[in-house]
Structure 1
Amino acid sequence: MPIPVVLDVDTGVDDACALLLAALHPSLDLRAVTCVGGNAPVDAVLANTLTVLDAANRPDVPVARGAERPLLEEPVDARHVHGQDGMGDLDWPKSTRQPDPRHAVELLRDVLLEAAGGDQDGRVTLIPLAPLTNIALLLRSYPAVASGIREIVFMGGAAEVGNATASAEFNVFHDPEAAAIVLDACADLDIDVTMYGLDVFYAPRVGREVAKTLSAPGDRSAADLAGRLIAFQCERFGGEGATIGDAGAVCAVLEPAGVRRERLPVRVELAGTWSRGRTIVDRRDWTGDMTHDPHGQARSSIDVCLEVDAQRYATLWLDTVSGGLR
Structure 2
Amino acid sequence: MNRRLILDVDTGTDDAIAIMMAGLSPDLDLIACTTVWGNHDVDTTTENTLRVLDHIDHSDVPVYRGLGKPYAPIPFLFPDYADSDRTIVHPHDFPIASRTSDVRATPAVEWLVETLRAATERVTLVPVAPLTNIAAAITLDPRIVDAVDEVVLMGGAHALGNVTPAAEANIWHDPVAADVVFQAGFERLVLVPLDATHEAIVSLDQTRALRATGTPAAVAAAAIIEQRITGYNEILPTGAADTAPVHDALCIAYLLDPAVLDVAPYRVQIDTVSPLSFGKTIVDVDNRARSAANCHVALGADATLFNDLMFRTLSEGR
TM-score norm. by structure 2 comes to 0.89
The answer on whether the counterparts of 2:266 and 2:294 sit within 8 Å (CA) in structure 1 is yes
Q: What is the CA–CA distance in structure 1 between the aligned matches of 2:118 and 2:32, rounded to whole Å?
A: 13
Instruction: Answer yes or no: is 1:232 the counterpart of 2:218.
Output: no
Instruction: Answer yes or no: is 1:111 the counterpart of 2:115.
Output: yes
Instruction: Answer yes or no: is 1:307 the counterpart of 2:300.
Output: yes
Q: 1:28 to 1:260 in 2, by over 3 A?
A: same
Match of 1:194 among 173, 190, 201: 190
The answer on whether the counterparts of 1:12 and 1:82 sit within 8 Å (CA) in structure 2 is no
**How far off is 1:92 after superposition?**
2.9
Alignment RMSD (CA, Å) = 2.3
Q: Name 1:289's counterpart in structure 2.
A: none
- Partner letter of residue 30 of structure 1? L
Count of residue pairs brought into register by the alignment: 306
Q: Name 2:139's counterpart in structure 1.
A: 140
Q: 1:133 to 1:77 in 2, by over 3 A?
A: farther
**How far off is 1:221 after superposition?**
1.6
Q: What is the CA–CA distance in structure 1 between the aligned matches of 2:286 and 2:206, rounded to whole Å?
A: 42
Structure 1, unmatched stretches of 5+, are 287-295
- Partner letter of residue 154 of structure 1? L
Q: What is the CA–CA distance in structure 1 between the aligned matches of 2:263 and 2:252, rounded to whole Å?
A: 15
**How far off is 1:193 after superposition?**
0.6
**How far off is 1:266 after superposition?**
1.0
Counterpart secondary structure, 2:59:
coil
Q: What is the CA–CA distance in structure 2 between the aligned matches of 1:225 and 1:82, rounded to whole Å?
A: 20
The answer on whether the counterparts of 2:55 and 2:96 sit within 8 Å (CA) in structure 1 is no
Instruction: Answer yes or no: is 1:83 the counterpart of 2:87.
Output: yes
Q: 1:88 to 1:226 in 2, by over 3 A?
A: farther
Deviations 1:130-176 (A, max 9, x none): 00000000111122322321111110112221111111111110000
Q: What is the CA–CA distance in structure 2 between the aligned matches of 1:250 and 1:139, rounded to whole Å?
A: 23
Q: What is the CA–CA distance in structure 1 between the aligned matches of 2:58 and 2:91, rounded to whole Å?
A: 18
Q: What is the CA–CA distance in structure 2 between the aligned matches of 1:277 and 1:160, rounded to whole Å?
A: 14
- Partner letter of residue 102 of structure 1? T
Q: Name 2:236's counterpart in structure 1.
A: none
Q: Name 2:238's counterpart in structure 1.
A: none
Q: What is the CA–CA distance in structure 2 between the aligned matches of 1:26 and 1:101, rounded to whole Å?
A: 28
Q: What is the CA–CA distance in structure 2 between the aligned matches of 1:16 and 1:298, rounded to whole Å?
A: 37
Structure 2, unmatched stretches of 5+, are 234-240
Instruction: Answer yes or no: is 1:32 the counterpart of 2:32.
Output: yes
Counterpart secondary structure, 1:154:
strand
Q: What is the CA–CA distance in structure 1 between the aligned matches of 2:47 and 2:81, rounded to whole Å?
A: 16
**How far off is 1:88 after superposition?**
5.8
Q: 1:9 to 1:161 in 2, by over 3 A?
A: same
Counterpart secondary structure, 1:185:
coil
Q: What is the CA–CA distance in structure 2 between the aligned matches of 1:58 and 1:103, rounded to whole Å?
A: 20
Q: What is the CA–CA distance in structure 2 between the aligned matches of 1:276 and 1:83, rounded to whole Å?
A: 23
Q: What is the CA–CA distance in structure 1 between the aligned matches of 2:88 and 2:206, rounded to whole Å?
A: 25
Q: 1:197 to 1:91 in 2, by over 3 A?
A: closer
**How far off is 1:86 after superposition?**
4.2
Counterpart secondary structure, 1:165:
coil
Instruction: Answer yes or no: is 1:101 the counterpart of 2:82.
Output: no
Task: Report which stretch shifted further, 85-94 or 46-55.
Answer: 85-94
**How far off is 1:214 after superposition?**
3.4
